[in-house]
Chain A
């Protein structure tokens, strides 16, 4: 094994392509593929492909959003702890929802959502801001200019707010999974501190509407 590491860059040659793990794409028979997909497959047959990282797998239980969130929660590379916290959070959500389900009346049982993954995705979607502020310096003064955000940035902001909210504004004795599940359920119902933060950001953007023309991209 060559241990001579090349400095400044990835270890792969730039011609390597990201791997595609989704099994459904590979199970379609050849005739059903459209023209574009056939061309893509042919191109891919000639190009070398990177190895799949350990967080990627084709199992049914893997969710890219949950993996990203787990990585953001991870401290100092302790993936084991982060993953256990995540599973405990999902379990806590499920327990709370089941409690509500059993206590509810017959008519309301349909409206209560028990699947923790659905709750997680919906809560994240509710937390995502639509518009963000960016500081632009013009004529010596720095203005906060409202700017449309990309999808990646929205998801990142939502996850970051969730995690920082849970780490700072909690009682010393309350554990992370409990607090996280509380926040997620509140976000799912469009209430709670993170939704407030999102609305504050929107209001600030609306207030600074006058500077919108400073944006050049």
Chain B
């Protein structure tokens, strides 16, 4: 099971939809929507534009013009958005006037989750029945392998937002196991539409970065630049073609600047990986960080620069070798009550 150890902003946002019955009544939200539409028309009138074709971007620009704010956090600035974006989706009250709940699974506590599991399992059983009928008649079709690479299942946060209920990791993994079972059954194509509701497209290539074309300098030699950062060190590298493999760092030869073998190995890594060790010249500038951080920053910068010299397939290979990712590891801060980032003070019995 995947446990999300590192927290992101999405996880820390509380699932407001799951917390208890509604704080805003339906009439309140309707009134807000009416007020929003009226206000939109007034704003369009003020700005001298057509009220009918006033889009959300126009509203944002108008508000930024009328109420300029110097606050850094975008969420703290004055904004005017549709009420459905501001007031989060909430569950309506689940029981009627006599106190009797509407849904038959209300007393389980997680009614939408259990009803979803019930429905999915019903689909699994129906597919198995259909499969049995086909095997009785010997008409079982061959199952083509599903393309695993292009799609992913919903994450736990997305599922929670869909059901408006808090889920535990265990519940989530059970649901995913059921979905996998449904998808891998031979006659699962019948329920394709149902399964697609719970899967998302993954962008097939992670190469969203644009590769720059080569530039030519006065002598006609092709060159390209790259920038890299590692742990407070930042480097820029210029890689020239038709070279002898000379590397200059901050005006100093690489043997004098990096006396340690490991750093020079790191500099050579991208070139050695692409079999271009003696073919390129490099001139870099680097500042900040320590010995190893500077070497890592130059490695990243040169790998980025080499992308323009090389075919797309090799760029993908470089990415899979870990040459093109920025290393996010930085020094962890010291916490109060502890001696260092992780080390605690010596425990004394008395």
Contacts and interface: CB of A to CB of B under 8 A. Distances in A.
Interface of A: 1, 3, 5-6, 8-15, 18-21, 23, 26, 39, 42-59, 62, 79-80, 83
Given A5-B332, A14-B6, A59-B269, A79 B262 contact: yes
Interface string B294-333: 0110001000000000000000110111110111111011
Contacts of B204: 45-46
A23 B321 CA distance: 9
B229 interface: yes
Contacts of A49: 319-320, 322, 325
Contacts of A8: 5
B128 to A, nearest CB: 27
Interface in B164-205: 202-205
Given A10-B5, A58-B273, A46 B206 contact: yes
B319 A51 contact: no
Contact of B5 (A14, A18, A59): A14
Given A8-B5, A11-B6, A59-B272, A51 B316 contact: no
Contacts of B135: none
Interface in B15-58: none
B184 to A, nearest CB: 15
Contact of A14 (B3, B268, B295): B3
Given A9-B6, A59-B268, A46 B150 contact: yes
B157 interface: no
B325 A57 contact: no
A78 to B, nearest CB: 11
A59 B263 CA distance: 13
A19 B5 contact: no
A8, A15, A19, A55 interface centre (most CB from chain B within 10 Å): A19
A58 B292 CA distance: 17
Nearest to A16: B325
A10 B273 CA distance: 27
B260 interface: yes
A56 B265 CA distance: 9
Contacts, number: 111
Contacts of B317: 26
Contacts of A12: 6, 328
Contacts of A56: 322
Given A3-B330, A48-B325, A58-B272, 15 more contacts: A9-B5, A13-B6, A18-B322, A19-B321, A21-B273, A43-B149, A45-B204, A49-B320, A51-B322, A51-B327, A52-B323, A54-B295, A55-B262, A57-B269, A58-B321
A10 B332 CA distance: 11
B139 interface: no
B7 interface: yes
Contacts of A55: 262
Contact of B292 (A11, A52, A54): A54
Contacts of B250: none
A55 to B, nearest CB: 7
Contacts of A57: 265-266, 268-269, 272
Contacts of B2: 14-15
A137 B297 CA distance: 51
Given A49-B322, A54-B296, A5 B333 contact: yes
B205, B265, B268 interface centre (most CB from chain A within 10 Å): B265
13 contacts: A5-B333, A12-B6, A13-B8, A15-B2, A19-B323, A21-B321, A23-B273, A45-B206, A49-B325, A51-B325, A51-B328, A59-B272, A83-B262
